[in-house]
Chains A and B, each alone.
Chain A
Amino acid sequence: MVKKIKLSKITWIILIIVSLSLVLLPIYVMFKYSISDRSSWITGGKYPVPWFPFNPTLDMYRYYLADTRFWANAFLSINVALLTVALSIILGAPAAYSLSRSKFNGKAIILFFILSIRLIPDISSAVPIATIFNNGLWDYLPVVLKLSLAHTLLGLPYVIYIAQGVFESIPKDLEEQAHVMGCGKFYTFLNIVIPLAIPGLAAGAIYVFLLSWNEFTLSYFITATSSVPMLPLPVYLKSMFGAFTPNPVGIATISLLVSLPVIVFTFALQKYMISGSTAGSVK
């Protein structure tokens, strides 16, 4: 009996170590490449790529952080993400509030319609979205708006879903008191409910920001068939693979710069992110 417990404990420790190293190794390799010097990645086949660079250097970071093209792309990504957050919250918060407060017939139907947009695979909806955005009158829209409209389509159902839960947690009594004192519904919503809901809505906003920041499929389809001067960062990163001589250090540096804000945000808000990503999965 004693032996068996020990055996299971040992397997447990081994499995923990294996899974941790499987997760950390690729991330370490990305970090290692980003600080590599020239002789650590152009080996000429004489010696294998070292596990730690011979002369660690931050040259590539200096290069990209001073590169105007990188910053133009980064600003496009940030603008798209911020516009997506604004659109999703402005459209989503009032709708979620109404859905959480009123008990009218057809509430379930509306909720179903709102969530049903996610039933179409991204890769299928990318084709019609890119086609209409790059033809006819829609073509005159600025790229920022095209991209954020497409991303809002992905983010809005999440915001409505998360915000509905947030509003349900706010006691109804407050609004009733405001009504008694003569506030209209709109005034109550703006001045009493929204300030109370801000922490919860902020979690939803960050979720949507990261969703837009990471989004590749729709951004790629929209920008691939039109000539745009700037690309969102994920598409820019992809375009670096296609270069004539891909530079691993540059790819690793951009990769790290793209993922850094995501990692920071995710860990600062892990509690909310987990409830957001698994909401509705086990019910």
Chain B
Amino acid sequence: MLKNLKKNSFLIWSLAPACIFIIGFFVIIAFFLLKLSLTTYVGGMPQETGVISNYITLINSSAFKDAFWRTLIFVLTSTPLQLITGLITAMLINKSFHGRGVVRSVLLLPLAIPTIVTTSILVLMFSKGGHIGSLLTGQYSFFPQVMAKEISFMNNEAFAIGLAIFGKVWRDTPISMLILLAGLQQIPQDQYEAAETMGSKLVQSFTYITLPLMIPSIASVLVLRSVEAWKEFIFPYILAPSFPVLGVLIENFYVQQLNPGMSAAIGIMLIFLILICTWVLKVVLEAASKFLVKV
């Protein structure tokens, strides 16, 4: 036993620090998340431990229900949108043309900009007296007047959530583009040529060749992006602060109301929602691939 230990001492010494760090933090996070969620807070002070009243309060509160629906809408809109924009941009740069490298670099730019900076640009553009407001009220000569009066985007629920979705899609399109591009490049070109000699049109080639062969990469985009959308915090937090999604609600309870118990309870529910959503998505994707791939 001791001999074995000595023989493997390098292995143990090299692996131990990283494992202790990660597993240690994992245990601490999981333990405190659970403990906090079972603790009630009154006025920033812990009151009772070991009760599930946080969860009961949450399920009965309208703020949580609203936040849940907003998050669901956020997920259901931003995920397919990212798939569509990613697919379009990936197909655009999938052929070889002059200046392709430059175009690809420009399309990757949103990934290189810190998220908080993206939100700050959107705040500047959409705030009162910003470019978009002036554009829509027809103050620039080249654009027709759409609205009679300037509206405040961030104080209107639909616009604020829409703005957060726009920011999220703008920033994360390059990620789905890269994944889908890798999938597109794996499709053998002779399949398209064969289809063309048999007289297939562009649309047919897309639905019968591209789509079925792209299912693995489409599936990974949908799963990865929907998980990201569930836990989104920064975009809704900056752009729709008055209409919290679940992530923003966690911040509200933690920072503004000094109630870590509630925010931990939401955090745990968020984890379960992500698990459920991923499972549903998996079932749907399996059914879809059975429907699309006809052997």
Chain A contact residues, CB within 8 Å of chain B: 4, 8, 12, 15-16, 19-20, 22-24, 26-27, 29-30, 33, 43, 45, 47-49, 51, 90-92, 94-95, 97-99, 102, 104, 110, 113-114, 116-117, 120-132, 152-153, 156-157, 160, 185-186, 189, 213-214, 216-217, 220-221, 224-225, 234, 237-238, 241, 248, 251-252, 255-256, 258-259, 262-263, 266-267, 270, 274, 277-278, 281-282
Contact = CB atoms under 8 A, between A and B. Distances in A.
Given A120-B26, A234-B114, 11 more contacts: A19-B89, A95-B14, A114-B19, A124-B250, A125-B33, A129-B29, A153-B22, A156-B18, A241-B238, A251-B123, A266-B108
Contacts, number: 236
Contacts of A113: 19, 22-23, 26
Interface of B: 10-11, 13-15, 17-19, 21-23, 25-26, 28-33, 36, 85, 88-89, 92, 103, 105-118, 120-125, 129-131, 134-135, 139-140, 170, 175, 178-179, 182-183, 202, 216-217, 220, 224, 230-231, 233-234, 238, 247, 250-251, 254-255, 258, 260, 263-264, 267-268, 270-271, 274
A123 B247 CA distance: 6
A92 B121 contact: no
Nearest to A160: B18
**Secondary structure of the A side of the interface?**
helix
B14 A94 contact: yes
Contact of A20 (B28, B107, B135, B267): B107
Given A120-B29, A124-B231, A127-B267, A20 B112 contact: no
A153 B121 contact: no
A114 B116 contact: no
**Secondary structure of the B side of the interface?**
helix
Contacts of A23: 106-107, 109-110, 170
Contacts of A220: 251
A99 B11 CA distance: 9
Given A45-B129, A251-B124, A270-B108, A19 B92 contact: yes
A98 B89 contact: no
